[in-house]
Chains A and B, each alone.
Chain A
């Protein structure tokens, strides 16, 4: 197992370095793709090991407990690796077209492949680190690598987005660091409880959470939610999200939206577990519910007034993250299970949308919704996948998102929080209508099938899709999410149950 983990850490690094040094486009694409496949299979191996009899202890820990993989981390790693795999596949098509359109130079191309691998690496490492502070620093490194990915195409807009991103998130992370110091302090007060917990390890703190000072833990948890919430994109710390997601290349947007947010949310939930063990779960749950509801609201407001495709899906991410934190905040078996499942559903649906927007961007040369018309005529396959993906995103059955959202709703009923249930239903319906209305005008916006369609530069568009590399990354998650909507395999269910037991003990 050790050798697998070390391999796991080195493969993306080597792939990135080689693609940067060798200066061969074909090699860069293939290396990245192979690296992502290897990462995906290794993370699947973790999963299988943890499910199996031998891993019945539920954890893989090496390097003197510096790296600990339990079910929760393995789950997040799997989600990250999955998006890494899809994005590296989609990058082949996206970057090729970008080079062809001369929006990306050769230098920028190789820098992109270096950074996307490093970005994936930093995200893959984050969930398996056992030390809180190291985890935060790793999150900071993801910020740096991804902010340079945002300026893959150097334009004034992308610089602005990257600058906002790095400033807002770095200051957020520093708040989270302060929260971590407070967590450490809360266990380290001599003579208050007699026993003190002098550690920053999640395993140790989680096991001894009842010895922590409650007042400090309360403040520290708020700081953590604000700090990591910036990275997750919880409102009102979401300001960088639409900018960065819309200016980044589409594969990177998908990675930002579908995996980075999960990685950051993973941190919040780890702290949530510790804070719950110390102060009782009522307090951290309330915090997450408030943050969640507010994020859903802000996300939907952003969706309703949106003119740009990628910003639309960025706001949708904010909304989805709100739903997930609401699920964790409602707690209970259903809520937590639903939130975990919604994480998976979101990670499957969101890439479809960003990849689809990438295809539209290359075809129509614009992100403006009002300039994109009649996609069903110009790119029929993309249009089909796009609209089907949107349906799974907004939670139309049968899709994984439907199951996740339904479970969260069920938990709110079970706890008799009817206000929250009503609010959630209204907001979900609003999101459903808003997103589908926007997409409807894009996909079916031309009444006459024979009308000629122009892009933003008034060049007549030829009918036709971009090829397998642009369609497969959309098709694979779509099939997965529909299958999961119809049937949850028993091993996955028991695995998620295991995670629920880790989180709410």
Chain B
């Protein structure tokens, strides 16, 4: 998208889509129920899919079409399906263990967003128009919020989702700033997401069988 003069209606659309993507991560931060969390992730991925598709149509790039399609398949369908399926199979207790209460984590997310804007502005305002600063800042705040989710929640599934939000942020970042990124990279990243999620799911199943819970709060035996 960098170096591309977009018509104004597309600017408005991208603006809206990125804002809703950011909003969906706040929905995740403010929710106490895992299934809600997973659905919010699915919606976020779907919005990213639409954004990629729009950019693909605008630039007539087959690469972006492929990437959009794969995003739809992997991020939006496969991963939430896997997670929800596992929750059903292992009848996982729905509530998330929080170490930081919801209002505080929302405010924290807000601070991280502002920090993302600040950082991106310092980094790319020399050569990027405002719309890109906006979208890239939102992508960066997704990454920060993903990290925050990992450290503030004590459940394996939320760790996985935190990582996925980080990946979403990086993907958004690369689509916005470097749409010419080679297709092979995006393909491999998607493959990697799938493999990582499956691996982490297997690990959490093993954990569930061994310790009887998915809470990572009890993982405190190894110190020193």
Q: Which of A's residues lie within 8 Å of B, judged by CB?
A: 131, 133-134, 137, 140-141, 144, 147-148, 151, 154-157, 159-164, 166-167, 170-171, 174-175, 177-178, 181, 184-185, 188-192, 198, 200, 215-216, 219, 242-243, 246-247, 302, 305-308, 311
Contact = CB atoms under 8 A, between A and B. Distances in A.
B170 interface: yes
Interface stretch (B14-22, B24-32, B98-106, B194-202): B194-202
Nearest to B216: A163
Contact of B188 (A137, A154, A242): A137
Interface string B191-224: 1100110011011101100110000100111101
A154 B206 CA distance: 8
A181 B174 contact: yes
Main SS at interface, chain B: helix
A216 B210 CA distance: 46
A243 B222 contact: yes
Given A148-B199, A159-B206, A191-B3, A305 B224 contact: yes
Given A154-B210, A184-B178, A134 B173 contact: no
Interface stretch (B36-44, B68-76, B87-95, B159-167): B159-167
Contacts of B146: 171
B215 to A, nearest CB: 11
B7 interface: no
A492 to B, nearest CB: 35
19 contacts: A131-B182, A140-B196, A141-B195, A144-B199, A156-B221, A159-B210, A160-B222, A163-B203, A167-B159, A167-B163, A170-B163, A171-B163, A184-B178, A215-B126, A216-B123, A219-B123, A242-B224, A306-B224, A307-B224
A396 B143 CA distance: 45
Interface residues of B, number: 47
A166 B203 CA distance: 9
Contacts of A190: 2-3
Contacts of A307: 224
B224 A311 contact: yes
Contacts of B195: 140-141, 144
Contacts of A154: 206, 210
A185 B156 contact: no
Nearest to B195: A144
B210 A198 contact: no
Interface in B132-181: 143, 146-147, 150, 156, 159, 162-163, 166-167, 170, 173-174, 177-178, 180-181
Main SS at interface, chain A: helix
B185 interface: yes
B45 to A, nearest CB: 16
A159 B166 contact: no
A133 B188 contact: yes
A67 to B, nearest CB: 14
A181 B206 contact: no
Given A151-B206, A171-B166, A185 B177 contact: yes
Contact of B150 (A148, A171, A177, A305): A171
A167 B150 contact: yes
A105 to B, nearest CB: 14
A13 to B, nearest CB: 16
Nearest to A243: B222
A160 B202 CA distance: 13
What are the 7 tightest A-B residue pairs by CB atom distance, in nearest-first order?
A: A160-B219, A133-B185, A243-B222, A190-B3, A144-B199, A137-B188, A181-B174
A162 B146 CA distance: 20
A305 B156 CA distance: 30
Contacts of B199: 144, 147-148, 166
Nearest to A181: B174
A171 to B, nearest CB: 6
A409 B156 CA distance: 45
A178 to B, nearest CB: 5
A266 B124 CA distance: 29
Contacts of B110: none
Contacts of A174: 143, 163, 166-167, 170
B8 interface: no
Contact of B147 (A137, A151, A171, A177): A171
B184 to A, nearest CB: 7
Contact of A181 (B181, B196, B200, B224): B181
B144 to A, nearest CB: 11
A216 B150 CA distance: 27
A242 B222 contact: yes
Contacts of A141: 192, 195
A403 B87 CA distance: 55
Given A185-B178, A189-B2, 5 more contacts: A156-B221, A157-B222, A159-B211, A171-B166, A198-B180
Contacts of B3: 190-191
B219 A164 contact: yes
Contacts of B210: 154-156, 159
B189 interface: yes
Contacts of B185: 131, 133-134, 200
A329 B163 CA distance: 31
Contacts of A189: 2, 127
